[in-house]
Structure 1
Amino acid sequence: MVVNDRLQNNLLNNFQINEDETEDVSLDNLSINESQTNIIKHSWQYTVQLNPITFYENNSDVQPNNEHQVWKETHYLSLYKNVLSILNKITWTTFDQLVDEFQKLPIENVECLENIANIVALKAFDESSFGSLYASLCRVLDITISCQNGNHLTYQKSFKKCVITICQNYFQKQCLDDTETLLMSIEHEHNQRRLKMQAIGCVRFIGELFKQSLISPYIVHYCIKSLQSKTKERSLEYLCNLLKVAGKELNEKISLEDIFEHLIYLVSDEMRSKISPRIRFMVKDVIDVVMPSRKI
């Protein structure tokens, strides 16, 4: 199957839920604003610490003597703590019971919905070995909030939409970032490694969402082509992780022949001195797992 050029160009700005196989979800184009970007970058670590001030864009507006503000902080923190408790306990054995608990949480507005989706997505990024579990959770949760746009028109915003928006944002901001930074300290090096592992978790989670029919195969194909076009070994590592999760299923819907021709070239003798042994073995493993019929 060949990706339509116009569709492929639009994919950069529009991650979409796979509407063909998700009948209960109907979405407009997803968009990302700067405040949401800041929430995505910081909320997971602060949510774990349960620091209420970080849930607001302008910290200077938080006044301890404001009764409504204090109620809001207490109410939100209790809700987020319950979400974390469910995520920390969820397994395939407890899945059905905890999904029911999650579904009954008092999510009353878009702010709560977006922050909760953010917690779930970044939890999946941090714990990539449980990506299929979290993707299944996103698949079965049916949480929708009514809200208004700038023209005061009411529309529905779903939990699934929020999760996919976070994946889109993180992929574009982190996984496609070729910026090289000088390591100034052990703390900075640790932070860079954490961001790299989260990026790997993001691409693997995108693959798991695709396998749950929440993301179109064209979106995953766009991600693969975007990573393939990058020159850094880090991007090649992300590509291998995405292919290992979703490559087999995606190849049944969209031909990945050109992708694997490129991978085979990367592990050829001609490229031996240009790619580290670790990445070479990673690429070979992906070829063996996803397309075992191809001979290197």
Structure 2
Amino acid sequence: MVGAEDRLSIKAGQTAPELGRLVFDSQFQILDCDDTHCNEELSSYNADVCEHCRGVESCFQQDGDVLCPGWNEAVCPGGLPAHNESAPQKNVVQLRDNVKAIDPAVTTLYACPVSLEDDYGDSAALFIAPYPTSFQDSDVIVSGQAGGVMHIVESIAPVGPYAFVLGNAANIEDVVAYSSFKEEVDPVAMDDETTEEDIPDPVLLSDAINGDLPIQASNVTVVNNDVPVYKCVGNAYISSSEDEWVSTFLVFKAADFNNLASDEGDILAGTESNGWLETVTGGNAGDQFSFVKTDLMRCGEELPDENR
């Protein structure tokens, strides 16, 4: 493979026989996957890189004893090897050098529910990570935790044992440098259904609160904003038709719920929530911030009797 800095100059007036007698300089590199990328005895051997090299190697015209094979656009259109159903090939994904995969078993990331749209755009997100971090500015962090992370790191601000990490959503091209698959697949969105709730239709909610909801058998109980309402994780269910849904429990103080005078079958309508009930599992106090680790509480567990 000839590097971009290598040039073959031809003097004016040279004839075809003279061109045929040209001798290639040692600076010209010839693509040889066996000795470079596919030699398992080398410390730099990588199966994915070897597979990539084999694919690129097939892109060159190999007609006879040609000293300088040309690029075969039919085999490799647009600069990449075309998919070949008959050729044995494994699935290969080559990530970019600045991609850092975050293992949840080693490093826990937390997503901060903040709005950054005005200053950083609607694709920005704020994370909290243990400090020092295993990544730096301009790296792409990828993890299945914190609601799914695939972000370009814009800045890192250390605060005690943690760091605030500002990231911008990355495109797949920012993560994958090269990929080759035997089969076609469709991307699937991964959501944590346990804490996802459908937002009610605003018009329907307004009608329920204002008493304009057309109902037959149920009463509507309006929960005022000054009544603290908490949520508790229930269970996830899958029906015989593979439909999925989750149950969510609402938690009130006993006195507040008694004042509502609500009964089974009634509809509760309100616009405020005080968040999820959580169990404190650890913490770390700092000069500027105190960090508290929690787990979402499931309603099947015993709840504390006293108010806290």
TM-score normalised by L of structure 1 = 0.20
- Structure number having the greater helix percentage: 1
- Structure number having the greater strand percentage: 2
